[in-house]
Amino acid sequence: MIFKQIKTGAVVLPLLVIAFAAGAADLGRSGYKNGRSMVADSSGSGFYVGINGGYGWGASNWASPAISHTPDGWMVGGAIGYNYQLGNVVLGLEGDFGWSGLKGSATCGAFTCETKNDWLGTVRGRLGYAVNRFLPFVTGGGAYGNIKASSTNPAAAGASSSQFGWVAGGGIEYAMHDNWSLKLEYLYVDLGSFNCGVACSVGITTNNVSFSQNIFRAGLNYHFTSGPVSSRY
């Protein structure tokens, strides 16, 4: 299941990147021709803040009752990060946190069981290679989110757990005029599983509930550099 989800993201991401690059090039055509490749120093290094939003879908499996469903929904949040530029290579560290509306349900006997992700945060390293105003990058690190498992069964109302996991993905960033940049990225997040116990199934002492998700999102960042970020990328 995990590899199937990653494979789906790997197929869709290049298509979105191509469309994003073409659209961004058209929007900033006059500036793109004059955009400089990054010089071999750290002139583009600095902090940035941003907002992001997108859509996610994933998989949740319950051990007992044995059900599987595919939570999905929208999400929005904010991010803060730091880039270190050396030549065309950009090293970075980024943290983000936001609201998540991913949820999904399935029939479990005479009742309905639901898994929901209320919020999600990540702390990731980034590695990119800049070409003029474009910065393709890969990213990976740790993830932290709240998972709720619930049931319409009044005798097993459910439970929630704040889970640590991992995240990996990639994307592309486009440096606009002044200190602004647009970002498009794909992330795969795995928050593992937790023991919901008898709170999810009467008479069952162990009931592992797992949760993983794919995320496609766009972001807008403001860079605190000493000049237009478009002269760095």
185 pLDDT higher than 80 = yes
Instruction: Look at the chain and report how many structural domains it folds into.
Output: 1
Q: What is the CATH number of the domain that holds 152?
A: 2.40.160.20
Q: Read off the pLDDT of residues 100-121 as tens digits, 9 standing for 90 and up.
A: 999 999 998 888 999 999 999 9
Q: Read off the pLDDT of residues 201-226 as tens digits, 9 standing for 90 and up.
A: 766 667 789 999 999 999 999 999 76
Give the domain range for residue 152: 2-231
pLDDT of residue 199: 82
pLDDT of residue 232: 62
DSSP letters, the chain, are -HHHHHHHHHHHHHHHHHHHHHHHHHHTHHHHTTPPPPPSSSTT-EEEEEEEEEEEEEEEEETTTTEEE--EEEEEEEEEEEEEEETTEEEEEEEEEEEEEEEEEEEETTEEEEEEEEEEEEEEEEEEE-BTTEEEEEEEEEEEEEEEEEES-TT--EEEEEEEEEEEEEEEEEE-STTEEEEEEEEEEEEEEEE-GGGTSTT-S--EEEEEEEEEEEEEEEE--SS-GGGT-
Does the global pTM surpass 0.85?
no
pLDDT of residue 228: 63
pLDDT of residue 195: 87
Average pLDDT over residues 142-163: 92
pLDDT of residue 226: 65
Position 144 confidence tier, pLDDT thresholds 50, 70, 90: very high
